[in-house]
Structure 1
Amino acid sequence: MSGHKNTGILISFVLAVGLLSASFTAVLMTSHYNRAQFQLLNGICRSIIDELPEAETVIPAILKDYKNKTAVPEEKSILATYGYRQSDFSKAAPNYGIIFAAAGFLFGGGLFLAAFRHMRRKEMLRIKSLTDYLENVNTGGNGLHLREEEDEFSKLQDEIYKTVTFAYQTRDAALTARQNFAENLANIAHQLKTPITAIHLSLQMMDCPSGKENISQIRRQLERLTHLEEALLLLSRLDAGTLPFEKKEADVFTILTLAADNLQEVLSHAGVSVDIPEGKPARITVDMDWTMEAIMNLLKNCMEHTPAGGVIHCSYEQNPLYTQIIIRDEGEGFAKEDLPHLFERFFRGQNAKSGGIGIGLSLAKELIESQNGTIHAKNNPDSGACFEIRFYSH
C-alpha cells in the first residue's frame, strides 16, 4: 500500500511541476508577444506622425475606437489586400516561444529524471540495508534490530523480520532442548547408578547370614528401577505429544476420592489421613486416569512431608472460568529457595525424603498442563505446603 502511495505522490509531484512549468512558459510568452505587439504598433504610429504631423490628433481617437472593436476577419484585412501576412510583422521580435517551450520541456524532463534517480537511489539503499541485515544474521550477528520504514519494501521487511525472529526462536529452542536432553541423560545415569550399586553390594553379601535382608533390598531397588523406567517412559511420551488423553466430563470429588483410595495402603502405613469434604458439584473435562495419576503424585508428596497422625486437606470450587483444586499438608512446607525449582525433573529439595527420584511433581505438572490446566506450589501462611490446581473451561 505504501509503495502505491509513494508512486502516486511522485507522479503527482511531476505533473504539478510540469503544469507549473507550462503555465510559467505561457505567461512569459504572452507577456513577450504583448510587449512586441505594443512596440510594433508604437513604431508604426510614430512613423505615421513623422510623415504626417497632422495625424497626431487623429491616431489616438482611432486607437481608442479600435480598442473597443472586435478583430477584423482575415479576408477583410487591409494589410492582406496590400499583400502583407501576420508573420511579416513578427520578424522584428526573435521567436522566443520555441526557446521558452524548449526550456520548460528541459526543466520538466530534468526534474522528472532527478526525481526518478532519487527514487531509484532510495530503492537501492533499501535493498542494500536489507541485504546487509541478512548478511549480519547469517554471520551470527545481532539480527533482531531492524529500523522500520514506510515504503514499498515495508511488507518485505516485515516478512524478513518475522522469519529471522522465528529462526532465532527455533535456534534457542533447539539449544534449550539439547541442553535439557544432556541434563536428563546425566540425571538418568545418576538415578540408575544408585540402585545398581545397591544391587551389586547385596549380591556380594548373599552368602552372609543376612541374605534374606539383602534379597529384600534387591527387590526394593528393582521396584525403584521399574518405577523410574515407567516414569521416564511416560515423560518421553508427554514430550513427544504421543500420550493419548481420553477426555470426558468427570466429577472432581470422585477423582480426589479415587486417588486417595488408591494410596490408602501407603497412607495407612505412614499414619496420614486425607480429608476431602464434599462441596458443591464440580465437573471438569479431563482424562480421569491420568488426572488421578497427577493427584496421586501430589498426595504422595504431601504424605512424605506430613508427620504421623497428620492430615492432608483437599478442597475444590468452581466458577465460570476455571475449577480450582487445593491440596495442602501439615508438614514443614517448602524451603524458600526450592520454590522456583519444585517442578523441575529430578529436582530434590532440602526437605526431600530419601528414596525418591525427584520426578513425581514434574510428571504431575505436565499431566495437568497437557489438559488445559495450571499448577502452582506455595507455603501456607500458618504451616505446610500447598498445591493450587486450576482446570480452565476454555
Structure 2
Amino acid sequence: MSKKSNIKITVLFVLSVSLIVAAMTTYLLTLYYRHVCFHILGGFCDSMIENNPDSRQAVLELLKTQDFHMTGENILSNKFDNHVISNFGYYPANLGITGTTVLWIAVFGFLAGGILFLFSFWYWHRKSDARIQALTEYLEKINTGVQGLVFESSDDEFSKLQDEIYKTVTELYQTKEEALTARNNFAENLSNIAHQLKTPITSISLTVQMAKEHLGDIRTAETPQGHTSMACKMHANIKDIQRQINRLMHLEEALLLLSRIDAGTLAFDRKPTDVFTILSLASDNLYELFMQKGVLIDIPEMDVMNINVDLNWTMEAVMNLMKNCMEATGTGTAVHCSYEKNPLYVQIRIWDEGEGFAREDLPHLFERFYRGENTKNTGIGIGLSLSKAIIEMQNGIIRAFNLPNGGACYEVRFYIS
C-alpha cells in the first residue's frame, strides 16, 4: 500500500471511532440533560405549591398539557418518586426529547461508525492480501525460471520485505550463474582431458600391437631356450600393458560421459519400458562376467511395470549396480533383483550376499572417483556416480544400504510423472 492509501485508511478509522464515541456521548448527555431538567422543574413546582397551596391544581393542569409516554425508563425510575411532579405521573422521559428518539439517534451513529470501521479494516486487509499475493506470484515466477520481473516501488509496511526479496533473488541469480559457469568450465576441462588422453592411448595401443606381432615372429623362429623364456616374459608384460590401456580407454569414455552430463548435453530418449526388460538385458550383457566369477543372478518375472526412461542409458546404470554386487560377493552366491509399484513410484532393488558396505564408505559411495579401502575390483570409481546421474536425470533417486541379514543393497525409485 502507498502512503496515500495509508492516510485514507487512517482517516476512515478515526472517523468511524469518532462517530461511535459521538453517538454514545450524545445519548448519555441527553439522559443527563433530561434528569437535570426534571430536578429543576420538580423544585420549581414544589416551591410554588408550598407558597401557594391553592395553585396545586393549576400546576397539575399545566403539566398535563405535555405529552406523556410510558416507557421502561418510567417504570424503573423509582429514585425520582420523591419529586412532587412524580406524584402526578411525570418522569424525565416526559421532558424534551423522548427516550426512543435519542436511542435511535445513538443506534444510527453507532451503526454508521461500525460500518466505517469494518470498511476501513476490510480495505486494509484487502490491500495487504493484494501485496502478499503479488509477492507470492513474483516468487513463483522466479521459481519457474522467469526473469526480469520488477515491481513498482512503494512506501508501505511491505516495502522492506520486498527489498529483501529482491536482494535475495539477485544474489541467488548471481550464485546460480557462477555455479553454471563453474560447471561448464569443469565439463569443458573434463572433455579436454579425455581428448588429450586419446592421442597417447592410441599411440601406445599401436606400439603394443606392433610388439605383439614382433613377438609372434620371434616365437616362430628358432631361438635358444633363454630367448624363449625372455619372449614369454615379454608377452606377459605386453598383456599387463594392454590391461592398463583398456583401463585408460574406459577412463577416457567415462570422462567424456561425465562432461556431457555436467554440461547438460546428454540426451535421453524416454519411452515407457518394462522393468523386467531392463533387468534382463543388463544381466545378459554381464553374462560372461557372472559365469567367470561363478555368481548367479536372480530376476523374478512379474507383471508388466513400465517406467518412462531411456532403455540404453538406464540399462547402463543397472549394469553398474549389478556388476558392483557381483564383485562384492563370492563364488557360488547370487545377486538378487526385485521390483514393485505403487501410486507414486516404481521401486527396483538389487542386492548381493556379501559382507555389505563398510560404514565409513556409505556416505561416499556415489562420489566420483571414490573407492573404498576394501574394494576388491580394479575400477576407477566412476560407475556408481554415473548410475546416480543417469537415474536422477530421469526423475529417479538411488540409495545404498546394508541389509539386516548381511549383504549390500541398491534401491532405485523412478517417480511416476
Q: TM-score, normalised by structure 2?
A: 0.55
| In 1, Cα distance between equivalents of 2:288 and 2:298 | 16
Task: Write the distance in 1 (CA, Å) between the matches of 2:158 and 2:66.
Answer: 64
State the Cα distance separating 1:29 from its structure 2 match. 4.6
Residues 6-155 of structure 1: pairs in structure 2 closer than 5 A: 11-30=15-34, 45=48, 56-70=52-66
Q: CA offsets, 1:65-103, max 9 Å, x none?
A: 2111249xxxxxxxxxxxxxxxxxxxxxxxxxxxxxxxx
Q: Which residue of 2 aligns with 1:342?
A: 365
1:130-186: CA deviation from partner (whole Å, max 9, x where unpaired): xxxxxxxxxxxxxxxxxxxxxx97766876776677678x489759959x969x79x
AA of the residue aligned to 2:397: T
Once the two structures are TM-superposed, the CA of residue 63 in structure 1 deviates from its matched residue by: 0.9
| 1:106-255 pair list within 5 angstroms | 170=172, 210=234, 212=238, 216=242, 219-237=245-263, 240=264, 242-255=265-278
Query: The residue matched to 1:351 in structure 2 has which SS?
Result: coil
Q: Comparing 354-363 with 58-67, which one deviates more in the overlay? A: 354-363
Conservation of the 8 A alpha-carbon contact between 2:327 and 2:377: no
- Paired residue for 1:329? 352
CA distance in 1, matches of 2:261, 2:397: 17
Q: 1:317, CA displacement in angstroms?
A: 3.0
The change in CA–CA distance for 1:231 and 1:304 in structure 2 (over 3 A counts) is farther
CA distance in 2, matches of 1:245, 1:63: 111
Aligned residue identity for 2:334: V
Q: Which amino acid aligns with 2:301?
A: E
Q: SS of the residue aligned with 2:300?
A: coil
**Matching residue's letter, 1:60:** R
- Per the alignment, do residues 335 and 171 of structure 1 end up closer, same or farther by CA in structure 2, a change over 3 Å counting? farther
Q: In the alignment, what sits opposite 1:362? A: 385
* 1:375 paired to 2:398: yes
Q: Structure 2 vs 1, CA of residues 12 and 376 (structure 1 numbering), >3 Å: closer, same or farther?
A: same
Separation of aligned partners in 1, 2:331 and 2:190: 32
The runs of 5 or more residues in structure 1 that have no matched partner are 50-55, 72-122, 124-151
Q: Which amino acid in structure 1 is aligned with residue 272 of structure 2?
A: E
- Judge conservation of contact 2:258–2:386 (CA < 8 Å) in 1: no
Whole-angstrom distance in 1 between the partners of 2:53 and 2:380:
130
1:288 is aligned to 311
Alpha-carbon distance change, 351 to 228 in structure 1, aligned in 2, over 3 angstroms: same
Deviation for aligned residue 1:307:
2.9
What value does the CA root-mean-square deviation take over the aligned residues?
4.9
Q: Which residue of the partner structure matches residue 325 of structure 2?
A: 302
Partners in 1 of 2:247 and 2:415 — Cα distance?
39
Match of 1:263 among 281, 286, 297: 286
Which amino acid counterpart does residue 381 of structure 2 have in structure 1? G
Q: 1:228–1:357: 8 Å Cα contact kept in structure 2?
A: no
Q: Determine helix, strand or coil for the equivalent of 2:356.
A: coil
3-state secondary structure, aligned to 1:65: helix
Structure 1 residues 157, 359: CA separation in 2 closer, same or farther (over 3 Å shift)? same
CA distance in 2 between partners of 1:344 and 1:11 (Å): 68
Looking at structure 1, the residues matched to 360 and 10 of structure 2 have their Cα atoms a distance apart, in angstroms, of: 59
* CA distance, structure 2, for counterparts of residue 9 and residue 216 of structure 1: 89
Q: 1:333 to 1:244 in 2, by over 3 A?
A: same
Partner letter of residue 299 of structure 1? M
- Decide which of 357, 363, 386 is 2:409's aligned counterpart: 386
Contact kept? 2:183, 2:262, Cα under 8 Å: no
Cα separation, 2, equivalents of 1:11 and 1:289: 75
TM-score normalised by L of structure 1: 0.58
Deviation at 1:249, TM superposition (A): 1.6
What is the aligned length? 296
Change (3 A) 1:5 1:384: farther
Asked if the contact 1:328–1:387 (Cα under 8 Å) also holds between the matched residues in 2, the reply is yes
* Cα separation, partners in 2 of 1:35 and 1:380, compared to 1, 3 Å: closer
Deviations, residues 224-280 of structure 1 (Å, cap 9, x unaligned) = 33223233124314xx4x433322221211111111222334444444443323233
1:314 equivalent in alignment to 2:341: no
Structure 1 residues 7 and 235, CA, compared in 2 at 3 Å: closer, same or farther? farther
Q: Is the 8 A contact 2:278 2:311 kept in 1?
A: yes
Deviation string, structure 1 residues 295-315 (Cα, Å, up to 9, x no partner): 011122223223345432222
Deviation for aligned residue 1:335: 0.4
Letter in 2 for 1:253: F
Q: Following the alignment from structure 2 to structure 1, what is the Cα–Cα distance between the partners of residues 57 and 21?
A: 45
Match for residue 126 of structure 1?
A: none
Q: CA deviation at 1:334?
A: 0.5
